[in-house]
């Protein structure tokens, strides 16, 4: 934190008035169910975006991204046009904080001028929601400065709108929600339909280990849309037999077993993953509430197998990481996390076996896949905060 403050002072010539942080997130269970109305089980992680800020003397917004050594300034009068003070298009990195400013303004809040320096520990492109952490970090920063009475879920929605409508990236609410609402030592059960949520305690004596396959996610729009369309088509076909359903969330596993023979093979596979993954999330919360890491881990392995065989979004590298983890001492469960087609696996590991687990995973991956895996030891952390410096 001292480093952050001194960096701000070097950049802007005075001390900051506010310090904020917003964590990245990992999804422990509930993959590709958010757009089917299902529940998810993310956790905020102790890798965060850190921000230092002060009111600007000219009422403008001045940003400095320390990690890439770039700065940009813009005015709220022109924020809708996505241009800087010279009328040039805002660079891509600046559109996330500018989008939050725009979204706050659209929500009827008065966004005042700021000088902000920020830096991130959240790996970019690994599926740990680095962009959502930036958005939520700026959100709590302006909230603290404005003294607004906004609950964290509402702030997450404002940040999601920034990414959807301003940056132009289609995403659900889970990423911003987890960053804003994280609870230390807990996963977060989040119902994407009702937006109800509650924390669920992670098992005693366990750690979260995230392994980056080094394969950058190449989820093309066509691959994503094909799966989403398959789910929608499954609902249309199942409505012949279950007229009341609106999404796959409404289909119980026993009902799916009865009517799945009437679905085309590929559509059946996609829908089967979603229906059973939704059930797995509910079972997982029960396992967490009774402090049962073995049961939770078995659900993680089952989720990965389903994503690999039914939803078909895994890669050989992700499969290698999960297979290696399964055979290492102290691993309760492992699965791909995020959209798939590359990115990371998440592992639940005994605390006293973490060091040997990480060493074994790295060595095995290098030997089997011929690649180097970045491995991160994480713990479930609190959500975003901002306070006076």
**In Å, what is the CA distance from 341 to each residue of 105, 215, 220, 317?**
36, 8, 9, 10
Pick from 20, 12, 27: nearest CA to 303: 27
CB 262 within 8 A of CB 241: yes
CB 272 within 8 A of CB 256: yes
The catalytic position among 46, 84, 175, 250 is: 175
The C-alpha atoms of residue 127 and residue 334 are separated, in whole angstroms, by 16
Q: Tokens 């026993």 correspond to what residue?
A: 254
- Residue 82, Ramachandran bin (φ over 0: left; ψ between -120 and 50: alpha; else beta): left
The C-alpha atoms of residue 353 and residue 207 are separated, in whole angstroms, by 9
Respond yes or no: is residue 292 known to be catalytic: no
H or E element in which residue 156 lies: helix 152-161
The C-alpha atoms of residue 168 and residue 225 are separated, in whole angstroms, by 16
Which residues are known catalytic residues?
A: 175
């Amino acid at each position: 934190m001292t480093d952050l403050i001194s960096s701000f002072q070097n950049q802007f010539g005075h001390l900051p008035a506010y310090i904020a942080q917003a964590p990245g997130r990992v999804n422990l269970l509930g993959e590709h169910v958010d757009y089917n109305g299902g529940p998810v089980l993310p956790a905020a992680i102790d890798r965060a975006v850190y921000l230092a800020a002060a009111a600007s003397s000219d009422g403008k917004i001045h940003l400095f991204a320390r990690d890439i050594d770039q700065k940009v300034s813009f005015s709220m009068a022109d924020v809708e046009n996505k241009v800087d003070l010279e009328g040039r298009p805002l660079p891509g990195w600046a559109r996330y904080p500018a989008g939050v400013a725009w979204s706050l303004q659209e929500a009827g809040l008065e966004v005042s001028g700021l000088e902000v320096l920020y830096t991130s520990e959240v790996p970019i492109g690994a599926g740990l929601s680095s962009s959502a952490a930036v958005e939520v970090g700026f959100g709590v920063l302006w909230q603290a400065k404005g003294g607004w009475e906004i609950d964290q879920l509402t702030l997450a929605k404002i940040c999601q709108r920034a990414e959807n409508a301003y940056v132009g990236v289609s995403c659900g609410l889970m990423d911003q929600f987890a960053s804003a609402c994280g609870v230390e030592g807990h996963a977060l059960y989040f119902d994407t339909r009702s937006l109800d949520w509650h924390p669920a305690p992670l098992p005693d004596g366990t750690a979260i280990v995230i392994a980056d396959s080094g394969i950058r996610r190449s989820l093309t729009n066509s691959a994503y849309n094909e799966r989403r369309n398959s789910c929608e088509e499954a609902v249309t076909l199942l409505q012949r037999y279950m007229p009341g359903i609106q999404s796959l969330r409404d289909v119980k596993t026993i009902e799916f077993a009865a009517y799945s023979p009437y679905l085309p093979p590929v559509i059946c596979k996609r829908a089967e993953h979603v229906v059973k993954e939704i059930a797995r999330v509910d079972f997982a919360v029960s396992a967490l509430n009774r402090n049962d890491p073995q049961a939770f881990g078995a659900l993680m392995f089952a989720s990965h197998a389903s994503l690999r065989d039914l939803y078909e979004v895994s890669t050989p590298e992700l499969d290698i990481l999960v297979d290696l983890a399964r055979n290492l001492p102290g691993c309760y469960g492992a699965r791909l996390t995020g959209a798939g087609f590359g990115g990371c696996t998440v592992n639940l590991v005994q605390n006293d076996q973490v060091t040997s687990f990480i060493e074994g995973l790295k060595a095995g991956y290098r030997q089997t896949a011929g690649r180097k895996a970045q491995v991160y030891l994480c713990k479930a952390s609190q959500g975003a905060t901002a306070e006076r410096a």
